[in-house]
Amino acid sequence: MRKVALIYNPISGQHSASRQCCFDAVLRTLRDAKIIVEPWQTDGPDAGARLARKAADEGFDTVLACGGDGTVHAVLQGLAGSQTALGVIPFGTANALAVGLGLAGAPQRAANKLLHAVPTRVPVGRIFYHDEEAREQSRYFIVAAGVGPDAQLMAAMDAGLKRRFGYVLYLVEGLRIWLGGSFPVFEARFGTGRPYTRRLSQLLVIRVRSLGGAIGSLVPGASLRSDSLRMLAFATQSRWHYLQFVTGAVLGHHRFSKIVDLFETGDVGCDAPENERMSLLAEADGEVLGRLPVRLAMVPDALTLLVPEEIAI
């Protein structure tokens, strides 16, 4: 790193008196290492992508995303396809990418690790979805993307309560959805040409080895280096089957079957009858995007990611 844009989300994560001190410590760590640093604060939902594109266009070799997975997701939209590297400083409620990179915990410690990180070229996912006016849109993703209850969970999260209660709110809302969820079914087509088709209630692509928190490693074999989509497919509407699998994942005993299966493919599409699409949401990196039909694919050699030396991704 020589010239860094530090893109900071002031409303990410839980507020505390020490938050500004942590941010100042990150700045000091970078500047003590003789790095040129410009702190840029986001001021809206599209600011992260806009500022990241600006940094790439103006010759910054690195953008450090200071926030949670939502901040990383926004910055990714501006950096995908460029040569400017992405680094992560965890300040958010959910910091799954930081966990996967061994950067979770104190922001200053993460900054110190990034000083010796290895710029690594990786593929990223891309999700094509439809907005409220039925227009096709697309986003890149690096942590996860899905259709089904995971997107319901993200849609249920109140931003103010998330800042106040943090990870606990994910557990509470997840339990509420499990108790009252209807888990509507959609059709998933795996591969192209002569695709394999299944009716599912949940499709969840995971790109990182660990999501952190209680669940940790949800998809065995997930890797940021992989050029394929590795995913969970739930062919059930049973709350009991969901509970069985999640409990097993928490305990580190994944049990796959025709009901909850593990798939790997380069391309997957999801659709449902038009009258059922309104009950099905799609998300990427924890951001609720839109509705079906949805297609997920991989974009090879898309991003330079700063990876700490000792971390296997």
Residue 128: pLDDT above 90? Answer: yes
**pLDDT for position 257:** 81
Q: Which residue has the tokens 């939902």?
A: 45
Q: Which of 6-20, 239-253, 260-274 shows the lowest mean pLDDT across its residues?
A: 6-20
**pLDDT for position 26:** 94
Judge contact between 162 and 13, C-beta under 8 A. Answer: no
Residue 247: pLDDT above 70? Answer: yes
Residue 107: count of CB within 10 angstroms of its CB: 21
Instruction: Report d(CA 228, CA 16) in Å as an integer.
Output: 40
**What's 181's DSSP letter?**
-
Tokens of 206: 């995971």
Judge contact between 200 and 149, C-beta under 8 A. Answer: no
Would you place residue 157 in the very low, low, confident or very high pLDDT band (cuts 50, 70, 90)? low
- pTM, two decimals, is 0.89
Phi-psi region of 208 (alpha: psi -120 to 50; beta: other; left: phi over 0): beta
Q: Is the model more confident about 149 or about 119?
A: 119
257-293: pLDDT as tens digits: 888 999 999 999 999 988 888 779 999 998 999 999 9
> Which of 225, 288, 234, 283 is CA-nearest to residue 257?
234
> Which of 293, 298, 264 is CA-nearest to residue 280?
293
102-115: pLDDT as tens digits: 998 899 999 999 99
Q: How far is CA 156 from CA 45, 139, 153, 159, 223, in A?
A: 18, 21, 5, 9, 28
**pLDDT for position 243:** 77
**pLDDT for position 303:** 98
46-68: pLDDT as tens digits: 899 999 999 999 999 999 999 98
Tokens of 312: 């296997």
> Which of 3, 65, 22, 15 is CA-nearest to residue 40?
65
Instruction: Report d(CA 202, CA 285) in Å as an integer.
Output: 16
81-101: pLDDT as tens digits: 999 999 999 987 778 899 999
Q: How far is CA 249 from CA 180, 210, 230, in A?
A: 22, 11, 16
In a 10 Å sphere around its CB, with 0-12 CB exposed, 13-18 middle and 19+ buried, how is residue 288 labelled? middle
In a 10 Å sphere around its CB, with 0-12 CB exposed, 13-18 middle and 19+ buried, how is residue 207 labelled? buried
Question: In sequence order, which residues have a C-beta less than 8 Å from that of residue 55 and are 6 or more positions away?
Answer: 5, 7, 40, 63, 78, 84
> What are 47's strand-pairing partners?
none
181-223: pLDDT as tens digits: 678 899 999 987 677 899 999 999 999 988 766 566 788 889 9
In a 10 Å sphere around its CB, with 0-12 CB exposed, 13-18 middle and 19+ buried, how is residue 8 labelled? buried
